[in-house]
Structure 1
């Protein structure tokens, strides 16, 4: 039986809201077959933390490794999606209440942020849901190696000292930001997360998917 695959990557368009004081990405056609060119050729100009992307330790840790050094065994494998539809921020008590299975190493957070992708015209929202610094410590203490969220940052807007990012990246936790979790239900999945392999870079755009588990087969009655 075929397993359902969910693409949780935002379709790249310069219209996606971006953090203040970051450059606007461009996607332009340099050659056009309709104008007589032999082929179509496009150019992409973007910073690496736009739309769906992965943060490497180097993003906030001066001597941290780059995106090309993140092991594939962290980016691929079983994960758990948990849903926080009503929270303004996620604290350790909220994570604890979800009874996340012991041994979980990849955790995806679905929040009310997902609905923000329905309307890009509202621009960047500073009231997005994110982890508190205490929740980041909970994640580290549970041995989670990858955590993802459905807005452009795992950290609350203008968090003093950037504590959440620094704690997670300093502990080698991979951050996947800008996920599109509309229509995704809480539960177990297989995660595929493939950022561009940019040498020594602090992050990279990524294609991310969730694969539903195989249905449980009923035995003979």
Structure 2
């Protein structure tokens, strides 16, 4: 994470990983070998950046072997919104304006959203 040189004032980030190159979001079967955050990567992000929203290009922000531990790091910070299941193929790296449009679900802890990136 440190080698990514994430600017201190950055608030929202989407991670386009090998999951996109492997087209995992288009496969019918769940693939446990997807790229996700390990506990130490999540902890570094929480402790060393001002990020408030993390988006990833597969069904979980956490690596399969660190599902609970990584999610707990993000959720215990109570400041970071997790956006999972992004389809980022055809989206080049860059700076975008982001709008997330959630469904209003009463009594729910999460919701499907539509994310709109504007260059």
- TM-score of the pair, normalised by structure 2: 0.88
1:121-160 matches, within 5 Å, as 121=28, 123-141=29-47, 142-159=49-66
1:161-200 matches, within 5 Å, as 162-172=68-78, 173-200=80-107
Alignment of 1:106 with 2:12, yes or no, is yes
- 1:119-166 CA-to-partner distances (Å, cap 9, x unmatched) read 424x11000000111111111111211100000000111426x11111
CA contact (8 A) 2:8 2:50 kept: no
**Residue segments in structure 2 that go unaligned for 5+ positions in a row:** none
Higher relative strand content: 1
Question: How many residues are matched?
Answer: 116
Alignment of 1:209 with 2:116, yes or no, is yes
Alignment of 1:120 with 2:27, yes or no, is yes
1:8-47 matches, within 5 Å, as none
CA contact (8 A) 1:154 1:175 kept: yes
Please identify the structure whose Cα radius of gyration is greater. 1
CA contact (8 A) 1:117 1:180 kept: no
Displacement of 1:170 after TM fit? Answer: 1.5
- 1:27-58 CA-to-partner distances (Å, cap 9, x unmatched) read xxxxxxxxxxxxxxxxxxxxxxxxxxxxxxxx
Task: Measure the CA separation in 2 of the matches of 1:146 and 1:135.
Answer: 15
Displacement of 1:189 after TM fit? Answer: 0.7
Higher relative helix content: 2
Task: Measure the CA separation in 1 of the matches of 2:44 and 2:26.
Answer: 33
For the aligned residue pairs, the C-alpha RMSD in angstroms reads 1.6
**Residue segments in structure 1 that go unaligned for 5+ positions in a row:** 1-94, 213-221
Task: Measure the CA separation in 2 of the matches of 1:167 and 1:138.
Answer: 10
